[in-house]
Structure 1
């Protein structure tokens, strides 16, 4: 019975197969595709753009002065705070040093004594010279002996010598006072340049010591120092324009390369480039992060309307349209965005047609109406 049923089923299948052979021929069946209307199509064309090498660095003053003390003492007064503008010679800080003050007083007293000693030596010299002149006449008249005349002459010579020694002593005392006063001037800290107080490293009551930094003063103009890959060493030159972006200050400007340090760092394989900026840019301070873009020539790239790119999870694609109007979702790799356009690194070629308007209406496998 089962064998009979199998034979009947097999014969019925053959009848259906051969019976349909006259209606559908192989290769003539057309896929019915949904019609897509209301979309805009554009042809992909490469554009020539300027290529850039991007790196980052730090804003620094062209000249940074490290102000330190030359003497030890206690800070008595601080006249400035961070961000204050200063002029060359402005008072920054006062140091109290009793030892230095005592030295100045001692030098002043020594100078006073030297002045008195000189005045006394001058009087003795004058008296000795007058006495010598009188005895000289008496000696010529044979009124005094030769021995008496020699004694007076010797006293005169000694008085002259003592006067000369007093003059030297006075000069030494004056020099000592000048040195003591100059040393006291070290307790008055003044700005060495026109600039801005970038850092204050000490407060009232603190002890200063020779060589210990007290202030850091930045002298405009400012520049950006960046590390550049060693492969760029033949592509950068002094005077080259470089685009600068300082996000924290919302500053976009163009600087020019002022200095190139062509010594390669063996650890980072980079060299330093210093980019000068205009003095008029405000408010600049040292230490800010800055991005720099170096032009490296022209190249052809494909850019499409940012709205033409669709996202599927982690993937991105565009709807490409072939000559028959069939829509295909093509995966692409994207790059940078610029003014509503997005760079296509791979997935599209010159001459490809893509949907740029009405993308939400596009269907993968559909046909443009």
Structure 2
């Protein structure tokens, strides 16, 4: 009797199996489309500005205007630059006159030296005077070229055909060198630009084809391929800018239009589990495996391919037919007995 009471007390002290919810692992064909929302931008967009500071005399740029290569966009007041040009021309003329005088004096000294009517010192002085006058002419020509360039810098011209997407100061304002006067989207190509989370960047295979369509008219579509992925995430949104080069985009895809991008990924059969089944073990993702013969659990590390909002795609660590815990994973420990909710206690 005493032995029987001991076994009964020992049985009563055993903890009751913890109730959990489970799911059976299955493999399925992965064909999950990735979708993003973005905008149309020019493949090549450049901001044009003056190289010098000054007062803006005219600015004929208007948002949306088409421009041709060499077309005049804006102009600065050029009185100071024209005065500098006239001064450079006068300086060059004076230097050329001194060079003519020095060259004539050198030729006379050369003739007199050959006839023995002058000294070597006078001839060397004439030679030095000619070289000095020639250097002054060279310097004056360089200053004249710089003055011509400064006059040219008062006119801002388009370097390639395109469309104006942004404008800067108006006529009458004082602008600084390098200040944006207009932004031109060149006509060479169009990009669909998306701000994509890091996990979607990892999931999209390289060289994949992207279908881009207008948000307000899904019938207007174009095909493209990923051309550039930002090397660093945006410090505010923590997303990566992805540029998709479009092939023959329709005219309806104007600059700034909102578009949707779609990528169909197919990586063969994969295992997806509920996000609630994922935990951590040894600083790595893990799941709890249920042994159906003993109703005990054990932790196993897994390799995660992609995170979704409600599911986790597992690349390694699980086999089809295994039973995993999907609810109650926070309170489990290795070897613990469990009871599947909905089964007999």
TM-score (ref. length: structure 1): 0.58
State which of 103, 111, 114 in structure 1 corresponds to 2:84: 103
- Tell me if the contact between 2:36 and 2:262 (Cα under 8 Å) persists in the aligned partners: yes
User: Which residue does 1:7 correspond to in 2?
Assistant: none
Q: How many residues end up aligned between the 2 structures? A: 238
- Tell me if the contact between 1:69 and 1:212 (Cα under 8 Å) persists in the aligned partners: yes
Q: Give the unaligned 5+ runs of structure 1.
A: 1-47, 137-148, 300-369
Q: Does residue 67 of structure 1 match 2:35? A: no
Q: Does residue 184 of structure 1 match 2:151? A: yes
Q: 2 CA distance for matches of 1:58 and 1:157? A: 74
Q: 1 CA distance for matches of 2:238 and 2:76? A: 46
Q: 1 CA distance for matches of 2:140 and 2:231? A: 55
Question: 1:78-97 alignment to 2 at 5 Å?
Answer: 78-97=59-78
User: Which residue does 1:154 correspond to in 2?
Assistant: 121
Q: 2 CA distance for matches of 1:118 and 1:267? A: 66
Q: 2 CA distance for matches of 1:239 and 1:76? A: 49
Give the root-mean-square deviation of aligned CA atoms: 2.7
Q: 2 CA distance for matches of 1:297 and 1:259? A: 22
Displacement of 1:267 after TM fit? Answer: 5.2
Q: Does residue 271 of structure 1 match 2:259? A: no
Q: Give the unaligned 5+ runs of structure 2.
A: 1-28, 269-345
Q: 2 CA distance for matches of 1:199 and 1:252? A: 26
Q: 2 CA distance for matches of 1:261 and 1:229? A: 12
Q: 2 CA distance for matches of 1:167 and 1:58? A: 61
- Tell me if the contact between 2:61 and 2:182 (Cα under 8 Å) persists in the aligned partners: no
Q: Deviations over 1:226-254 (max 9, x none)?
A: 12232223321332122212245773223
CA gap 1:202/1:263 in 2 versus in 1, 3 angstroms: closer
CA gap 1:298/1:275 in 2 versus in 1, 3 angstroms: same
CA gap 1:161/1:267 in 2 versus in 1, 3 angstroms: closer
- Tell me if the contact between 1:248 and 1:288 (Cα under 8 Å) persists in the aligned partners: no
- Tell me if the contact between 2:222 and 2:248 (Cα under 8 Å) persists in the aligned partners: no
TM-score (ref. length: structure 2): 0.62
Q: 2 CA distance for matches of 1:191 and 1:68? A: 10
State which of 125, 133, 151 in structure 1 corresponds to 2:114: 133
Q: Deviations over 1:265-301 (max 9, x none)?
A: 56545323211112452154432222222223499xx
CA gap 1:223/1:115 in 2 versus in 1, 3 angstroms: same
Q: Deviations over 1:54-88 (max 9, x none)?
A: 22112111121011112122223335433233344
Q: 2 CA distance for matches of 1:205 and 1:72? A: 13
